Amino acid sequence: MDVSQAFDAAAGSYDAARRRLVPCFDDFYGTAVEVVAPPLRAALAAGRTPQVLDLGAGTGLLSSLIAAVVPEARLTLVDAAPKMLAVATEHLTGRGVPHRVVLADLADPLPEGRYDAVVSALAIHHLDDAGKRDLYRRAAEALTPGGVFVNAEQVAGPTAALDRRYHQVWLSQIVERGSDADEIAAAEQRMAYDRPAPVGEQCRWLTEVGLVDVDCFFKAWRFAVFGGHAPELPDSVRIG
Ligand SMILES: C[S@@+](CC[C@H](N)C(=O)[O-])C[C@H]1O[C@@H](n2cnc3c(N)ncnc32)[C@H](O)[C@@H]1O
C-alpha cells in the first residue's frame, strides 16, 4: 500500500476524525485561511477571479474553508488519491463552489496556470526533503506577483528529543479528545509514510526559492502554518 492508497482507505471516515487528530484544528486551518485571504481579495479588487491551487487537497478541507471566506475563488485541487478527491467533489459541488480536481502526484508538473494562492495542508510532509524543495520551487514559480504560498503542516522537532515530545503531546491530546485505540492505530499506520522536516529549515527553503516575508504564522507542537509571498505585492495587501 502506498500513501495515496492509505488515504483512499480512510476517505469515508477522514473528515469526522479531523478535529480529534488535529487538536489545534481551528487555529491551524484558521491561520492558513487568514494568510491566504488578503491576496485573493486583492485579485478580486483588481477585477480578476482569484485562483487557488490546493496541493494534496484530500477531501477538500482547506479548499472549503477558503471558499467560505472568499466564495469568488476558483479552486484547483490536486491529489493522488481518487476516493479522497471524490469526497472533495461531493462537498464542493454540494455547496456550489467552483472548482476542478486533478488526479496527480505532487512530483508531477503542477496544473498549468498562475495562482494567487498555492496552499497545502498536511500533505507535503509525505515527500522526502528533495521532493519538498522541488515542490516549493515549482509552487513559487506558479504564483502571480504578490501571490501567497502557505503550508499548514506536520513538522519535525528540531531535535530528536523534541520530536519525541511532539509525539507524546499529540497522543495525550487526541486521547483527551476521544480518539480510541482503533483510530490511533489507523492514524499511526498512515504516519508511517510521514517524512516531516523542521519548520525553520522549511522556511529557509522557501526563502531560497525566492519567496519574501517568509514566516511561521502559527505553531502548536507538531502543527505549524508557514509560508511567504511572491515578490511585488504592495505593502497594503500583505499579511492581513
Ligand atoms: C492528511 S491528508 C490532507 C488532506 C487535506 N489537505 C486536509 O487538510 O485535510 C494528505 C493528503 O495528501 C495526499 N498525498 C500524499 N502524498 C501525495 C503525493 N505524493 N501526491 C499527491 N497527493 C499526495 C494524500 O492522498 C492525502 O489525500
pLDDT, residue 193, reads 87
- Give me the pLDDT at residue 237, please: 52
Q: What is the CATH number of domain 3-237?
A: 3.40.50.150
CA 58 / ligand 1 centre spacing (Å): 5
**Is ligand 1 within 6 A of the CB of residue 4?**
yes
pLDDT at 4: 81
> Quick check: 167 and 222 in contact, CB under 8 A?
yes
- Residue 233: the pLDDT is 52
pLDDT for res 5: 83
Query: Is the Cβ–Cβ distance between 224 and 216 less than 8 Å?
Result: yes
What is the amino acid identity at position 159? Answer: T
| CA-CA-CA-CA dihedral for 6, 9, 10, 12, to nearest 10 | 160
pLDDT score, position 236: 54
Query: Does ligand 1 have an atom closer than 6 angstroms to the CB of 224?
Result: no
Give me the average pLDDT of each 10-residue run along the chain (240 residues). 79 82 96 98 97 98 97 97 96 95 98 98 97 98 97 98 97 94 90 94 98 98 98 61
CA 156 – ligand 1 centroid, Å: 17
Other C-beta atoms closer than 10 Å to the C-beta of 1 total 11
- Give the cell for residue 185: 492505530
Domain boundaries of the chain, sorted by first residue: 3-237
How confident is the model at residue 8, as a pLDDT?
82
Q: What is the pTM of this model?
A: 0.94
